[in-house]
Structure 1
């Protein structure tokens, strides 16, 4: 744990970190906002975001490349940005997008429908462009056409009422970014480095090295010229690789970092002890913001005795979520009520599930769990472990060893199961094995995961991950990590029918909450996975130089500053005078 004594050396460390090649000294610290970068920039002179690698989150899509829309996590609505609106036809097979008038690239060229059509056509014609957003467009769009200079029509391969959010709304991390035709035309899109890069955003590229990228304000930005937005207050934005939790804590305490990646509660309290200007999403416990991927326990429904829904329900009843919160997370999260992340835009669906009686309780009911176990023919042995036919009731729980969050949570679950009479042991495996072998091939009895991740403003995206069309035999790779539990019962079929019926309904259809509750009844009855707690991202923000950071009280949007919506965060910053 980081201590106050450790942080006392921070000033010297910070001074070294912010000097050296690539960081000019002509902008004052109080006019500069410094964001934490949690990775090395492998190729500082490559800005081709269509191919894998760090090409965006070192400032490119937070300051230079603007999204078409930004999803508001609280309301579930799309805030217009480079585009003003997007509308679908009646069956959601065609979408027409209207672009904002007056947008220009930083070199003065107009941003218009030609750029959108060019970028989409480029992706449709080149499968080497492998980044997720490019692959999604290629999978969903049959053709794209220019209607006029500010209007684009997309024809989809099949109906999709979520097309606009999935592709253009910064639903999770990024969105499909439009590139300037006048720069990219004639280039090989799989190898073009796009250096130096340009964008439409209020900042232009200044320099980059493997450990930092610098972006300076463009006072001729189109948004200020047209009245769309005022110029952002920071004159310079720096993304600085901090090298880990202790280093970012030192920099934050010394006022040489304004926004940091997630830290432990002990580190956060140590930072605050030295720098009381540091805040988080909540002003008190749980402090942390829940990212979209709520944590859960996955159960392989093909392996006895966990192929029995009563036994899976018993495990769910044994788990004490409050204890996981208090011990494994040290109070920095909250118990999950359902499979969904607990955002304002998801609340109608969570409420529907809870009102139908399918919500989760934060505490355990061990007595009810043991009744189910005994009903399955088990008796308690003298050693406190259930047995049947001479065999102990046991389970191995696989967990990714890459994070203490994961291992501490599963250690807590295993302890709870052991106390209730199930001989549980944890099986830590390294990250590549966990995601490459254990989860996708069903090589586990139970495992820690967040495979319900996906829904942030509507329920279908997460719920469709457990439909029967994704079921494959153990030993074959589950498509997209969907239904790795191999849930394939009559209840799963009924669940699938309901969820499939939601697929092509408008996102605001009033029938959807009721359908969610009905489908969730099958999850509650058969328990192919067990929701545990919300994810915890304790992100420190420094108010010494800048205020206006997103918080639970000032939740114009969420605080994940490595995402494409960071434009909103930067525009909300106000300089401390």
Structure 2
């Protein structure tokens, strides 16, 4: 267990950081909520979120820039925010969004359809706006038009039932953010810094440095004046770079941090032992909330002997997920039951897979694995390793060395495979090589990753990442990291046809769950990847000053406070009594 020490020294550093230029010390700690920032703000005066860098997650899209909708991970519904609803034309090629009446920018100008059309057309017409959301709009939208001040119509290049949630619903991390036309008009959107930013949110920008950003409540916020929502209780919101796990632990213990980034189980339990007001998503194990990107073992299906589906299934039988959970993850996660993130909104599809008999067990079945391996002509040698034609059955497993989570998990899998008779070896590589060379070009036999990431309220997004449409030869870059396994069998073709049908169906269509199970039969039979465990985010939340944090018992949404939905979290916070 971590021994927390040198608290006063770290506290002094933190207080000094908050006393930077432009900050008037007129807001009490009890009226301030402090969020952990896990990175340096390299350009504190640049709020152009269309270009790379920390331009929005240090408070800008959590307090100042509001989304049109917010996806609720529990229900799968879109909660309206700056918009009140939308309609499609029945073919998912045209979407009409209704904006909320009375919304204003913090300078008093009206927020309306002109701002939406201007921002979308700005992204469509400028290839230099490189952030993912801008690139997605360019790829999907054929045209956008103002119907009236509160109505905007989008015409798409191709049918897409997920258009609204993908672009405007905070599905994962962020959404396409609307900017004020009356400020951006006439500026070069690729170079404009927006150094004096404004938004529609209940907070306005006060100051920023490389290690913190400060936002103060706008008591004239449109939402309170129109009755949309009460003013949030915190008068000030601070995003503070804490410098790592030990220092964030020290700040939590001394009540100088209200919500922290991911920590280990040992660190969390040490914090809680010294500050019983600190909570997490779950009150007990696994403590952590599930991240959308469930972990899995990727398998290159072009490399012998792993080009044989039976050999891939043998590996799947050998893996003991409960051991990964209890040892590698220290109990802070759950074994995956399917390829999907285990959210309430995904339950119908997870249940369909399990009811069809394709759910994953927590424990290993080594006897079943041995039968498959021996059926492929291998015999176990005196050293306990299978061999055939004088060669050992071996595998090299690449792993990104950037995180102990990754390396500990692969070390556990290597140990399990060796015990079962496969000579496995971990191959740690640095982050840039892993994402730049190993994964996209298929330069691996097996590797640890999360390439099924994407589905949080519907199954198509994740399942579409393994269709034959994205197969390229080893040595060529897989498009969007899709199907790096190069799965290209008859079963893969059948799977792809089913997934393509799913992609044309409207969200909420009750027939989709049955198609998920039908497609999943091919995944289960051929195992181009092996789901392992849910991705864990153990986020300490401090109730000394503020209650109302999102938890499994208070699940108004998930707790990832660096996302655009953090508006919901801040609005739910109440001063502790």
Aligned residues: 577
Question: Is contact 1:298–1:528 with CA below 8 Å preserved after alignment?
Answer: yes
Quote the RMSD (CA, aligned, Å): 1.0
Partners of 1:274 and 1:212 in 2: CA distance: 26
Question: Is contact 2:61–2:563 with CA below 8 Å preserved after alignment?
Answer: yes
Which residue is 2:494 aligned to? 494
Which residue is 1:181 aligned to? 181
**Cα deviation, residue 260, structure 1:** 0.5
Q: How does 1:545-560 map to 2 (within 5 A)?
A: 545-560=545-560
Over residues 4-47 of structure 1, what are the superposed CA-to-partner deviations in whole Å (9 max), with x where a residue is unaligned?
A: 44657654454444334344311000000000011111111110
Which residue is 1:144 aligned to? 144
**Cα deviation, residue 273, structure 1:** 1.1
Unaligned runs of 5+ in 1: none
Which residue is 2:92 aligned to? 92
**Cα deviation, residue 2, structure 1:** 2.8
Which residue is 1:112 aligned to? 112
Spell out structure 1 runs of 4+ moving beyond 2 A.
Answer: 4-24
Say which SS state the counterpart of residue 216 (structure 2) adopts.
strand
Say which SS state the counterpart of residue 146 (structure 1) adopts.
strand
Question: Is contact 2:232–2:573 with CA below 8 Å preserved after alignment?
Answer: yes
Which residue is 1:229 aligned to? 229
Bigger mean CA offset, 292-301 vs 3-12: 3-12
Partners of 1:250 and 1:21 in 2: CA distance: 25
Partners of 1:66 and 1:18 in 2: CA distance: 25
Q: How does 1:287-326 map to 2 (within 5 A)?
A: 287-326=287-326
Which residue is 2:522 aligned to? 522
Which residue is 2:456 aligned to? 456
Say which SS state the counterpart of residue 518 (structure 1) adopts.
helix
**Cα deviation, residue 90, structure 1:** 1.1
Partners of 2:210 and 2:90 in 1: CA distance: 49
Over residues 385-442 of structure 1, what are the superposed CA-to-partner deviations in whole Å (9 max), with x where a residue is unaligned?
A: 0000000000000000000000000000000000000000000000000000000000
Change (3 A) 1:10 1:212: closer
Q: TM-score, normalised by structure 2?
A: 0.99
Over residues 202-228 of structure 1, what are the superposed CA-to-partner deviations in whole Å (9 max), with x where a residue is unaligned?
A: 000000111100000000000000000
Q: How does 1:163-182 map to 2 (within 5 A)?
A: 163-182=163-182
Unaligned runs of 5+ in 2: none
Which residue is 1:103 aligned to? 103
Which residue is 1:201 aligned to? 201
Say which SS state the counterpart of residue 301 (structure 1) adopts.
coil
Which residue is 1:79 aligned to? 79
Partners of 1:439 and 1:24 in 2: CA distance: 49
Which residue is 2:349 aligned to? 349
Q: Say whether 1:26 aligns with 2:12.
A: no
Question: Is contact 2:23–2:206 with CA below 8 Å preserved after alignment?
Answer: no
Say which SS state the counterpart of residue 370 (structure 2) adopts.
helix
Say which SS state the counterpart of residue 536 (structure 2) adopts.
coil
Which residue is 1:444 aligned to? 444
Say which SS state the counterpart of residue 252 (structure 1) adopts.
helix
Say which SS state the counterpart of residue 535 (structure 2) adopts.
coil
Question: Is contact 1:62–1:564 with CA below 8 Å preserved after alignment?
Answer: yes
Question: Is contact 2:5–2:250 with CA below 8 Å preserved after alignment?
Answer: no
Question: Is contact 1:397–1:424 with CA below 8 Å preserved after alignment?
Answer: yes
Over residues 455-484 of structure 1, what are the superposed CA-to-partner deviations in whole Å (9 max), with x where a residue is unaligned?
A: 000000000000000000000000000000
Partners of 1:8 and 1:354 in 2: CA distance: 52
Partners of 1:402 and 1:74 in 2: CA distance: 31
Partners of 1:154 and 1:368 in 2: CA distance: 53
Say which SS state the counterpart of residue 291 (structure 2) adopts.
coil
Question: Is contact 2:33–2:258 with CA below 8 Å preserved after alignment?
Answer: yes
Partners of 1:11 and 1:211 in 2: CA distance: 15
Say which SS state the counterpart of residue 293 (structure 1) adopts.
coil
Change (3 A) 1:346 1:194: same
**Cα deviation, residue 342, structure 1:** 0.2
**Cα deviation, residue 576, structure 1:** 1.3
